Amino acid sequence: MTGLDLEFVRGNFPALGRGQVFLDNAGGSQVARQTADRLAEYLFTANVQLGASYAASAQAGAMVQRGREALATLLNAARPEEVVMGATSTQLFDQLARALVQTWAPGDEVIVTNFDHEAHIGPWRKLEAQGIVIREWRLPAGSHDPDLEDLQALLSERTRLVAVTHASNIFGTIMPIRRIADRVHAAGALLSVDGVAFAPHRAVDVQALGADFYGFSVYKTYGPHFAALYGRYAQLLAAGNINHSFFPGDNVPQKMEPGNASYELAYSCIGIVDYLEALARAHGANVAGREAVEAAFRLISAHEETLARRLLDYLSARPDVTIIGSPSADAALRVPTISFTIEGTSSREVVEAVDPTGIGIRFGDFYSRRLIEDLGLADRDGVIRVSAVHYNTVGEIDRLIARLEEIRSMEAAQ
């Protein structure tokens, strides 16, 4: 089969049949049917506390472990113990910072960017109160691509960690994480990657990327409202304990999961792999596990490039539109998260004019406030953002384009 079977895809997302066009997926994707099935399975068979000696508790523990294993498969972690689970990526990055700072000293340095989501900037900046020096890797003026030489100039013998996004939730740009990792490790530092805007679109391979830590939001990746943080086992072992004081230092990853993660949400993460396996099979790939994840995301990537090209070609042809990021739809360079502004109108006004058509897009800074302020767009209500995923159709993009043209005509007539 050539191309993505959208009838099959959309049939696995029940929410898509209600008339709403979902083009705000970077804020949260729809949930695959398999995820909900796994959630119900846990709640109706083993909804008890873990760690007891009776059979139902043992079963619950095994099911939660299977959820952790599914997340390890999605990330291509070397072992399930390298997956820390939690409610949100914001929470998990904060927990990571609190654990790592226990092993650092005043005067040690962390490098953050001015183009990440605040969830991956704020936790490290808070460490200034404990004497950690924060350095900032900034985008060159007028560019949506960071300069690795600028990063190199910031690295020093006191650098302990560099925090950078895998894909910008404003630009959609994919960052060269492997090249960044090589420079960071050559300086003797660790690399933390925010994969929230990347994981719904491509197969993540933390081992190939060379990341020491990698977090993503499961609820933006066809799963429940949940999150996962990969940590290289040796680094999790060396990190401080943020759980109860009596937890041993070698209790990985539980020493990073205070209060325990949601059991039923953990187990339901298996449903994401279930769906990707079904997607691969429906397109002729008789594979399972990690192979299915990679096969499915190859299909996803190709379809998403088509969606991005349709919208970007339209926006590029409008002289009153400024694309915030690359105008290229090349899937090797960007994900289909597309931000833009329209001359003479605020981003809020455009989005609110689209809302009545049943097409969901969004305006604002999307918690990348530092970037939006540096771009001088805060007083224009930030950017208009259209964020597609693979269950979206060219027809839905065309509906949005038609509405943007209607708005343009109405404004011209005034």
Q: What is the pLDDT of residues 361-413, one digit of tens each?
A: 999 999 999 999 999 999 999 999 999 999 999 999 999 999 999 999 888 88
Taking only the tens place, the pLDDT of each residue in 230-283 is 999 999 999 999 999 998 889 999 999 999 999 999 999 999 999 999 999 999
DSSP class of residue 130?
G
Render pLDDT for 330-365 as a digit per residue (tens, 0 to 9): 999 999 999 999 999 999 999 999 999 999 999 999
Per residue in 306-319, pLDDT (tens digit) is 999 999 999 999 99
Amino acid at 219: Y
Cis preceding-peptide flag for 253 (omega within 30 of 0): yes
Three-class secondary structure of residue 294 per DSSP: helix
What local confidence, expressed as pLDDT, does residue 13 receive?
98
The whole-number pLDDT of residue 412 equals: 80
Predicted confidence band at 14 (pLDDT cuts at 50, 70, 90)?
Answer: very high
The CATH H-level (homologous superfamily) assignment of domain 6-31+302-413 is Aspartate Aminotransferase, domain 1 (3.90.1150.10)
CA distances from 207 to 180, 217, 259, 311, 389 (A): 14, 19, 29, 33, 25
Tokens 């404990």, residue located:
130
Quote the tokens at residue 296.
């499915």
Burial 194-227 (b: 16+ CB within 10 A, else e): bbbbbbbbbbbbbeebbbbbbbbbbbbbbbbebb
In the predicted model, what is the mean pLDDT of residues 172-200?
98
Around Cβ 407, how many Cβ atoms within 10 Å? 16
Closest to 67 in 3D by CA, of 238, 281, 362, 272:
272
Summarize pLDDT for 111-132 with one digit per residue, the tens. Answer: 999 999 999 999 999 999 999 9
Q: What residue type is 52 in one-letter code?
A: A
Residue 414: pLDDT over 80:
no
Average pLDDT over the chain, rounded to an integer: 97
- Which segments within 166-234 are labelled E, that is strand? 190-194, 213-217, 227-231
- Per-residue tokens: 33: 């049917």
Spatial contact of 282 and 11, defined as CB atoms under 8 Å apart: no
Q: Specify the pLDDT at position 2.
A: 64
Three-state secondary structure string covering 82-128: HEEEECCHHHHHHHHHHHHHHHCCCCCEEEEECCCCHHHCHHHHHHH
- Domain assignments of the chain as residue spans, ordered by start: 6-31+302-413
- Round to whole Å and give the CA distance between 67 and 405: 45
